[in-house]
Structure 1
């Protein structure tokens, strides 16, 4: 999101809330003074759980953004404040520096406000095809084809394992469609209870049930644009018929109404399960499946495009160098071999997390095996039954490095500064390795940096 878009997002928001990593409120503003019944002076310094006692941690968009360490955009949320039903579109961003996640910011738009048409248009796509990183020729070819058919009005079904980047694909399709200047609304079907999914998608009429109000659903609110139904495989079977009717008739009916309301919506759906198998099991309607699957796009798992690992690693190193204030220049050959032979069940998302982890345990230069998570070092390539780095090799490497450090300390007469310079590593790294290998059981440091009582 560029700076102009971010400013517009602030300008058209009803609520801005900033918390620290523990959930303490650092900043609060309710511009319309109707999204939350709490006043600013009663909010600062309190915990977000106190403000929304009906939420669990998993319910907060901002905490999930902090856990993922990446933004969550255009997420619908419905809740009650003092008996008043509120429906919001949330954008949450983690606040990160070199030490990790400091907190998060959530920016909410109230969907029931009169200005919803203007505001929801601000919730547009964030990525384009150029943002998709790949060196895999087959994947590149399929993306070029998808870019061309994005201008079509046909529905698209994106199929891929968890962590392959299906949402990135959906953003890109909308960005290249004729609807790119219209709303782009995202709803994860697995993230909301099935009991309220119908009201979220189709809206409600006043009096249809206790406490109900006239409210647009997501289809109505995003009229003219695109809805991305993530994890469509999680949609309840009894709701699938109503969704099918919406697709066939291009109209919706709010809960409690007998009025058909015309809609102009393109649907992009994604699934991390095989929908054909769910159809065979009677868990997913075949007619809905074929309606959604007009254009089908398969996102290959990372294990099938190993040539992307190095380019993705370089990209994430650059990204986390900036975030964590590091100066890592690349990875060693041993690390690249380990990454290339790993199965990557968590796909690109897992690789991103591994690079972030590794940078947190590195100082400068290239990433080596010491920086990788232990589960990677102990991994076994099931295809070749060859141990990538077995424990005996790791032990030998550790022992050899420990011996080098011991020898260097003796040569430098236990002067930490001179030893670090002799080994061409930062002092912090030397301290870390001394602690790691437990080379010294008693340590005392004078102001000049000499080790006293160094026992090996």
Structure 2
């Protein structure tokens, strides 16, 4: 190999290294002895390591696995087989736990295996979240750390909720649908001395009265046709917490029985004469103003006073707009992990609309919009107007402002105005759309042409033809 060829090879290697350092997946290559020969920047970030700690080191001298066979790289090296989408949990040399989803391949040259390569996606945070949520504390998933928001309004509720963990008094959580009432209920349970005991949740509107009574209070065998001896939710939650969601949907007679349980701390199964002592904390939720519910006969006044020893009012999202950006970013990160994507943010235009919108569905609606938008994203790194679900874009608050030079209404047939020729109409519509696509891609001709399904040259021709100018050249 002459000097020129050597320089070309060095340049190719530098380009190759640069490319692999810029991609958003980890790449790790070992030789036939299990020593690292290549390790990109993303892999170092995932594993919290420095290059010099890994390069030319034996894999098992740097990382710890529960068993050597658990290393997907070593499996590919040993068996010569491809491994697709395998989850792997292991530890770096600092004892930090790492979880990745790996695609691993043997490297074959001239029929001989000379090493193995792994492409890894980081799911460490997601795995930790799932593990915390999978019944770490009885039947609950959420703690106060799960509540997202920096506004004074939400912090005030959090502090009041934390104070409620010190006692076993009944709690009434008041808030609109989608504000996160169950999240607060579980956080109170997990922060209390009852955290190791059962947490049982029941939506009172989910079942008819004939079923909800037996479910709550239990049944005695023979009490009615087909009845069996079965403890109710009050007995099952003994020692822990019972969450009664939408308490205002219970009929007055069941509310009276519930009041008796709260006062006497005993429960009687349907058809039975025996009272059973129960030690439970009741947390109830209501999605309307309790005063309205009482005045309109949906809630007994005496039950309200008994339940509302501690009353928590969860503010709707429109009253804590400061939290919208934090919540949106949280949901982006959540669905990045679930979908294997790399969306970074929401563009300023959409965030401005988010902060002006009233969010009748509250936090739940915001999450669904973010999830829907991320299903429409291809390679972009920011959620923009075109990614919002169609039903959401059609809301008056979210309709895009027309272009300054080409208004949408100009494309419509209007009274007392001459009708455009088809050629004029098509030209104006095409001009308007090209401007929007260019703006979406920040005037990048190549990206705009790709999304329009045409060549770069074709797009440039049309831009010149219609006199569309872009602010910057790519």
1:373 corresponds to 2:373: no
Find out whether 1:174 has 2:189 as its counterpart.
Answer: yes
Separation of aligned partners in 2, 1:298 and 1:433: 57
Q: Which residue of 1 aligns with 2:10?
A: none
3-state SS in 2 of match to 1:162 = coil
- Counterpart check, 1:403 vs 2:439: no
Pick from 276, 285, 294 the counterpart of residue 279 of structure 1: 294
Q: Say if 1:283 and 1:400 are closer, same or farther in 2 by CA, change over 3 A.
A: same
Stretches of structure 1 that go unaligned for 5 or more consecutive residues are 1-119, 382-386, 408-419, 435-439, 441-456
1:259 aligns with 2:270: no
Alpha carbons 1:303, 1:344 under 8 Å: kept? yes
CA distance in 1 between counterparts of 2:288 and 2:159 reads 25
TM-score by length of 2: 0.58
Whole-Å Cα distance in 1 between the matches of residues 454 and 375 of structure 2?
A: 13
Say whether the 8 Å CA contact 2:202–2:243 is kept in structure 1: yes
Task: Report the CA distance shift for 1:255/1:121 in structure 2 as closer, same or farther (over 3 A).
Answer: farther
The answer for unaligned runs of 5 or more in structure 2 is 1-134, 409-427, 457-461, 463-474
Counterpart residue number, 1:146: 161
Once the two structures are superposed, what CA deviation does each residue of 1:75-130 show, in whole Å capped at 9, x if it has no partner? Answer: xxxxxxxxxxxxxxxxxxxxxxxxxxxxxxxxxxxxxxxxxxxxx99842211001
Aligned pairs for 1:32-431 within 5 A:
123-362=138-377, 363-380=379-396, 389-390=400-401, 399-400=430-431, 402-403=433-434, 422-424=445-447, 427=450, 429-431=451-453
User: What's the CA shift string for 1:202-239, capped at 9, x where partnerless?
Assistant: 00111111111111000011111100001111111121
Pick which of 354-363 and 272-281 moved more. 272-281
What root-mean-square deviation, in Å, do the aligned CA atoms of Structure 1 and Structure 2 show?
3.2
Aligned-partner SS, 2:363: helix
CA distance in 1, matches of 2:358, 2:394: 13
**For the Cα contact (< 8 Å) 2:165–2:192, is it kept in 1?**
yes
Moved more, 396-405 or 204-213: 396-405
Give the drift of 1:368: 1.1
- Paired residues of 2:174 and 2:312 also in contact (CA < 8 A): yes
Equivalent position SS for 2:167: coil
Kindly indicate which of the two structures has a greater share of residues assigned to helix. 2
- Could you list the per-position Cα deviations for residues 351-406 of structure 1 after superposition, in whole angstroms to 9, with x for gaps in the alignment? 0011111111112221111111234334345xxxxx86346779669855643699
Q: Is the 8 A contact 2:249 2:298 kept in 1?
A: no
